[in-house]
């Protein structure tokens, strides 16, 4: 029996049907097997017992259990439990006396062994215990379900807030540096500066508007990464070699926005040099619903694994976001070789198919 306080018609109907069924099975069916015609007073007593048990059931579940048991007042609740037991039996006995049930049974059965008013109604004793135990258990189950739903809601809100924060934290220094580079280009290459402004504008529009949703089209994410790489080329020195393999998806997929950028941004942060020859390799492929990202770069005397940062997005947070969004649907391998001075990221993600 569900103990919610909903008063809609269906809930009330279900409650009534359950009590009718229990009343018939526990209090009406056994006497029907006695092969005697029982007096009307007996059936009235049994009916009243059902209402008494139902009253104690709901009073215990809706008031006593939340007020005392859930508040840590277990001793008070135990006293109530025992008292309720006794009260039910006393009320049932008072009803028997006023309805003259025992006298009517003796007249019908002609059996002197019919119990007296002072005998314990052991059957009702057991049923009362069963009703109170079920009532307490159901109230506890309802509280547990409510706590689970509340916890799940809080967790979802926490995850949503965390993801919103993580995907919004693109490094602001990138924008400032890019604007400075564009400003310099206006003196030397006006067409290129115009193209750079257009790319930066597309990126800002994507970050400000398209990333508000939980998912973005893969084509948009790839365009964003492509614009980012093109703008980063403006800052590269002649000693750095850049290779970017842009994918061609076989279907229209969706992906969590701003998820791949930290790995690519990290390569540019740690893999460029104005004195030594370095290489940055970005290989992004999409095949049969699986996205594969490989980022390779040289390290300039730094522990990248300690500072994979993108405006606050560290390695731990990036892994956290992958775990939240793609549980059991991604593989991330990071290999940092300090002796060779190389750093490599291999990431595989099972993508969402649009309208799948």
Single pTM value for the model: 0.54
Q: Are residues 13 and 132 in the same domain?
A: yes
And the tokens for 347? 């990431």
Residue range 33-78, pLDDT digits in tens? 676 777 788 888 888 888 888 888 889 888 888 888 888 888 998 8
Q: How far is CA 86 from the centre of its chain?
A: 44
Q: Are residues 141 and 233 in the same domain?
A: no
**Could you tell me if residue 283 is inside a domain?**
yes
pLDDT band at 304 (very low <50, low <70, confident <90, very high): very low
pLDDT band at 11 (very low <50, low <70, confident <90, very high): low
Q: What is the pLDDT of residue 309?
A: 41
Q: Are residues 115 and 219 in the same domain?
A: no
**Could you tell me if residue 173 is inside a domain?**
no
**Angle subtended at Cα 11 by Cα 7 and Cα 15, rounded to the nearest 5 degrees:** 115
Task: Tally the domains of the chain.
Answer: 2
Domain limits at 289?
Answer: 213-353
Q: What is the pLDDT of residue 68?
A: 87
Q: Are residues 238 and 348 in the same domain?
A: yes
Q: Are residues 225 and 337 in the same domain?
A: yes
Report which of 275, 284, 307, 295 is spatially closest to residue 342, judged by C-alpha positions.
295
**Could you tell me if residue 193 is inside a domain?**
no
End-to-end CA distance of the chain: 38
Q: What is the pLDDT of residue 118?
A: 58
Average pLDDT, the chain: 79
And the tokens for 159? 């995850």
**Could you tell me if residue 170 is inside a domain?**
no
**Could you tell me if residue 75 is inside a domain?**
yes
**Could you tell me if residue 174 is inside a domain?**
no
Helix, strand, coil % in the chain, rounded to nearest 5: 60, 15, 25
Q: Are residues 16 and 160 in the same domain?
A: yes
């Amino acid at each position: 029996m569900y103990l919610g306080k909903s008063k809609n018609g269906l809930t009330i109907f279900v409650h009534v049907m359950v009590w009718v069924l229990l009343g018939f099975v526990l209090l009406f069916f056994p006497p029907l097997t006695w092969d005697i015609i029982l007096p009307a007073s007996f059936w009235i007593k049994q009916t009243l017992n059902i209402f008494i048990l139902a009253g104690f059931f709901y009073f215990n579940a809706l008031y006593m259990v939340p007020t005392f048991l859930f508040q840590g007042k277990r001793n008070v609740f135990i006293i109530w439990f025992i008292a309720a037991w006794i009260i039910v039996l006393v009320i049932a006995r008072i009803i028997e006396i006023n309805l003259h049930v025992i006298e009517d049974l003796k007249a019908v059965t002609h059996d002197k062994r019919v119990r007296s008013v002072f005998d314990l109604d052991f059957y009702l004793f057991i049923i009362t215990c069963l009703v109170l135990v079920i009532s307490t258990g159901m109230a506890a189950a309802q509280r547990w379900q409510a706590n689970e739903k509340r916890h799940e809601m809080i967790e979802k809100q926490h995850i949503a807030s965390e993801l919103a924060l993580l995907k919004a934290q693109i490094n602001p220094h990138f924008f400032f540096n890019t604007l400075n580079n564009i400003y310099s280009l206006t003196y030397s290459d006006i067409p290129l500066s115009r193209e750079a402004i257009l790319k930066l504008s597309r990126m800002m529009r994507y970050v400000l508007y398209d990333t508000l949703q939980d998912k973005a089209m893969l084509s948009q994410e790839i365009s964003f990464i492509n614009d980012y790489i093109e703008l980063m080329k403006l800052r590269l020195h002649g000693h750095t070699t850049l290779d970017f393999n842009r994918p061609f998806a076989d279907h229209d997929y969706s992906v969590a926005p701003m998820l791949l950028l930290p790995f690519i941004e990290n390569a540019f942060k740690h893999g460029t040099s104005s004195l030594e020859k370095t290489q940055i390799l970005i290989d992004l492929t999409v095949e049969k619903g699986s996205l594969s990202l490989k980022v390779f770069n040289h390290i300039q005397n730094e522990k990248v694994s300690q500072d994979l940062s993108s405006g606050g997005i560290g390695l731990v947070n990036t892994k956290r976001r992958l775990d939240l969004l793609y549980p059991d649907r991604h593989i991330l391998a990071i290999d940092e070789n300090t002796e060779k001075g190389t750093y490599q990221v291999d990431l595989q993600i099972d993508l969402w198919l649009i309208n799948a």
